[in-house]
Amino acid sequence: MKRHTQCHVDVTLRILGGKWKPIILWYLMAGTYRFSELEKNIPGITQKMLTQQLREMEADKLLSRKVYPEVPPKVEYSITDHGKSLRPILSAMGKWGENHSSKV
C-alpha cells in the first residue's frame, strides 16, 4: 500500500500550533529577550509552558538560546533566519485577527 505524503499544512501547524508559539515568535521578531521578559510580556503563560514552547522552537531551529557564563545565569532567546521566514505568516494571522474582531 502506498503511503501518503505528509500534508504541508500539518508540518506548519506542528511547528506553529498552539496558543503560545505564534505570540512568542511575534515578540522575538522585535529582538532578543530573556526568559523573564518573555514571561512578563505574555500574560497567562506559565513558566513550565514557556520553557516547553521555547525548547520545541529551539529544536525546530526557529530560535536560538544563548547562555552567558554568569552568576546568576543569563539566558537570551533570539529568532533565527529560519524563524524570521515566518514573519509573513504571522503578519497575515494578525491582519486576519484584526479584520475578524471588527466583524464580531
Question: Does residue 66 carry a pLDDT above 90?
Answer: yes
- Please tell me the pTM assigned to this model: 0.85
- Residue 25: give the domain boundaries: 21-99
Average the pLDDT over 70-97 and give the result: 93
Higher pLDDT, 13 or 46: 46
Query: H helices within 17-86, ranges in order?
Result: 21-29, 35-41, 47-59, 81-84
| Contact by Cβ (8 Å): 80, 28 | no
Could you tell me which residues come within 8 angstroms of residue 78 by beta carbon, excluding any fewer than 6 positions away? 28, 31, 32, 63, 64, 66
Residue pointed to by grid coordinates 522575538: 28
| Distance in angstroms (rounded) separating the CA atoms of residues 27 and 34 | 11
Check residue 46 and give its pLDDT.
Answer: 96
Check residue 101 and give its pLDDT.
Answer: 84
Instruction: Give the chain's domain count.
Output: 1
Q: Is residue 14 part of a domain?
A: no
Question: Does residue 2 carry a pLDDT above 70?
Answer: no
Q: Is residue 90 part of a domain?
A: yes
Q: How confident is the model at residue 103 (pLDDT cuts 50, 70, 90)?
A: confident
